[in-house]
Structure 1
Amino acid sequence: MEVMEILKKYSESIDHEIEEALSTITPLNLYESSNHLIKAGGKKIRPALAVLTCEVVGGKAEYALKTAAAIELIHTFSLIHDDIMDKDDMRRGKSSVHVLWGEPMAILAGDTLFSKAFETVIRTRIDDSSYKRVIKALDTVVDSCIKICEGQACDMSFEGKFEVSEAEYMNMIYKKTAALIAAATKGGAIIGGGNPEEVAALEEYGKLIGLAFQIQDDYLDVVSDEESLGKPVGSDIVEGKMTLMVVKALEKASPEDKEKLISILKENNPDGVGEAIAIFEKYGSLQYTHKVALDNVRKAKELLDIFEDSEAKDALILLADYVLERQN
């Protein structure tokens, strides 16, 4: 089975749950602004992971659909607020929510999706004795929301700061990106009735592929092409972002090269991209970044060894590999 087939397999059911959750929103402009990015598409990797981890521990797919929908609602909420903070005008090939409806309504749309996510998990019904699973899944979703906010705050605190350690950077991307993916895999396992060992393994699997996902994003920004990326190569460099490549290069560079790289990151000038990449290559930070992503995916797949062979397990292995194979 191909990755896109896996993602499509559950997308209709997940979309139905999302539509049901949003259908009661009024007035119309709040409904439309809340629904805008969801209608614009997206791969829906996170909700698919919630369903697959439910299945791999022996649960039925339908048990996890509301948790899966909640994960996608939280992801969308974070994108709307990110676009406001980053002043990004486009998302998924469409105008951002704040561009179309204004910042106050976009904030409300994000807040509505955030709240609807919790309501959706609470409405999960498996059987009369499973309420503890639902509460644990809700706790997992809530915890990921706190981590996303902490991660965004960490990321913002890195702006203009060039003494960031690798451990600080990894903690930031864990909270900002990987925590929600880990919540999807943990939440699905809980709802599916996984035992503590299974839940812990699947949470760690989600964390590792989430870290690899963000690190691969950093890597693709430099090694990919504009057509595949949908944005200019090296845009992270132009924006002065701290990435694993930057952190590693600054750690290893000579005083002269370190000063040069910091100067490029401060300038916000596309003309410096080539020189920054040359510094990355000189100190092996491109190769190092790619190796970290590869190692995380390898470890993630090894964690699946405790599960019996199944279609869901095969899909989880394919999705881990997809994190590194994608081009955007």
Structure 2
Amino acid sequence: MEVIDILKKYSTIVDEEIDKSLNTVDPEKLQKASEHLIKAGGKKIRPALVILTCQAVGGNVEEALKTAAAVELIHTFSLIHDDIMDEDNMRRGKPSVHVLWGEPMAILAGDTLFSKAFETILETRIDGVSYERVVGTLKTVVDSCTKICEGQAFDMCFEGNFDVAEEEYMQMIYMKTGALIAAATKSGAIVGGGSPEQVEALAEYGRLIGLAFQIQDDYLDVVSDEQDIGKPVGSDVVEGKMTLMVVNALSKASPEDKTELISILNAKSDTNVARAIELFEKYDSINYTHNISLQNVERAKKLLDVVDDSPAKEALLKMADFMLERNH
């Protein structure tokens, strides 16, 4: 089964669980705002990882379903608030929540999703999962929420700071993107009854593929065409964003090239994107970025030795590769 088929397989049942969680929200305007991005689509990678890691340690889909839904609710909450902070007017091909309902209602919609996520995890007890596993899952997801906020704050602090070290950048993207993916794989292992060794290994698997996921975005921004990624090539350069490619190139560049690259990033214009990409190529930063993603995925796949061979393990191996194979 291909990754897209795996994601579709679980997307329907996760959406049903999310619907149950949100159908009690009032007033109707808040409910519609809360549901908007979920109904707009999305790959549902994170909930699929919850279910697959649960199955990989011997658990079943029913045990993982509410946690899977909760993780997607957290992810959607973060997207709504991101769009407000970044003033992004489109998401998943549709107008952003704040564009349709205004910023105050969008903030409330995000807060509603955030609250409903924890309520949904607590309801896992209804499915016969032990109190200890529910608490372990809840602690894992709560911790990831704190990290998402910290990562977003670091990202904002990095704006205009061109002295960010690679280690600092990697920590930021782990918090902002990797932490929730790691929480998905760790909570799946916990709710499925995995051993401490399995829980730790699957959490690290999630961290590594989460890093690969974000770094691949950096890479695709300069090597894909506009149609594939759904935004102009080099848009990260135009926005003056710190990416692994930028961090690496600045660390290697001559004083003249460093000054030029910083000038291009500060200009926030599309006129010098081609020149920025030339500088990335000059210092081999494009290949470097891709190789870091590749290394993380290979390390992640080795960690799956901690579970027995099964269809779920096979799917997790494919999910790791998918982080590099996707083109958007």
TM > 0.5 fold call = yes
Aligned match of 1:320: 320
Which TM-score applies when normalising by structure 2?
0.99
1:41 partner SS = coil
Q: Do residues 242 (structure 1) and 260 (structure 2) align?
A: no
Q: Which amino acid in the other structure matches residue 225 of structure 1?
A: D
C-alpha displacement of 1:128? 5.8
C-alpha displacement at 1:127, in angstroms?
Answer: 6.5
Count of paired positions: 328
Structure 1: 4+ residue segments shifted above 6 A? none
Quote how far apart the aligned CAs of 1:323 are: 0.4
| Offset at residue 129 of structure 1 (A) | 6.9
Gaps of 5+ in 2: none
Residue 141 of structure 2 corresponds to residue 141 of structure 1: yes
For residues 204-254 of structure 1, give each alpha carbon's deviation from its aligned partner in whole angstroms, at most 9, with x where no partner exists.
000000000000000000000000010000000000000000000000000
Task: Tell me the TM-score normalised to structure 1 length.
Answer: 0.99
Residue matched to 1:69: 69
Q: What displacement does 1:13 show?
A: 1.3
Check if 1:10 corresponds to 2:18.
Answer: no
Distance 1:230 1:277 in 2: 19
User: 1:31-78 CA deviation, whole Å, 9 max, x = no partner?
Assistant: 000000000000000000000000000001110000000000000000
- Shift of the alpha carbon at 1:306? 2.0
Q: 1:112-159: CA deviations, max 9, x gaps?
A: 000000000000036767111000000001000000000000000001
Name the CA distance, whole Å, in 1 between partners of 2:189 and 2:163.
38
Per the alignment, in what secondary structure is the counterpart of residue 123 of structure 1? Answer: helix
User: Does structure 2 retain, via aligned residues, the 8 Å contact 1:63–1:126?
Assistant: no
Tell me the amino acid that sits aligned with residue 34 of structure 2: S
Distance, in Å, in 1 between the alignment partners of 2:238 and 2:129 is 54
In 2, Cα distance between the equivalents of 1:266 and 1:127?
Answer: 53
Q: Pairwise mapping of residues 110-189 of structure 1 onto structure 2 (< 5 A)?
A: 110-125=110-125, 130-189=130-189
CA contact (8 A) 1:34 1:112 kept: yes
2:125 match: secondary structure:
coil
Could you tell me how far 1:192 is from its partner in structure 2? 0.0
Which residue is equivalent to 1:291?
291
2:97 is aligned with 1:97: yes
On the 8 A contact 2:228/2:327 being kept in 1, the answer is yes
CA RMSD between the two structures: 0.8
How far the C-alpha of 1:4 sits from its partner, in A, is 1.0
Distance in 2 (alpha carbons) for counterparts of 1:184 and 1:122: 16
Q: Could you tell me how far apart the structure 2 residues matched to 1:264 and 1:11 are?
A: 41
Contact 1:215/1:293 (CA < 8 Å) preserved in 2?
Answer: yes
Q: Can you give the 5+ residue segments of structure 1 that lack an aligned partner in the other structure?
A: none
| Cα distance in 1, alignment partners of residues 286 and 8 from structure 2 | 33
Matched residue type, 2:86: D
Aligned to 2:231: 231
Q: Distance in 2 between matches of 1:128 and 1:36?
A: 31
Alignment partner, residue 194 of structure 1: 194
11-20 or 32-41, larger mean C-alpha shift: 11-20
Within 1, Cα distance between the matches of 2:152 and 2:26? 29
- Letter of the 2:79 counterpart: L
Change (3 A) 1:55 1:128: closer
Task: Work out the CA distance in 2 between the residues paired with 1:228 and 1:20.
Answer: 34
Q: Distance in 1 between matches of 2:289 and 2:281?
A: 11
Q: Percent identity?
A: 70
| Letter paired with 1:230 | G
Q: Do 1:63 and 1:125's aligned partners in 2 also have CA atoms closer than 8 Å?
A: no
Q: Deviations over 1:87-127 (max 9, x none)?
A: 00000000000000000000000000000000000000367
User: Which stretch shows the higher mean deviation, 123-132 or 91-100?
Assistant: 123-132
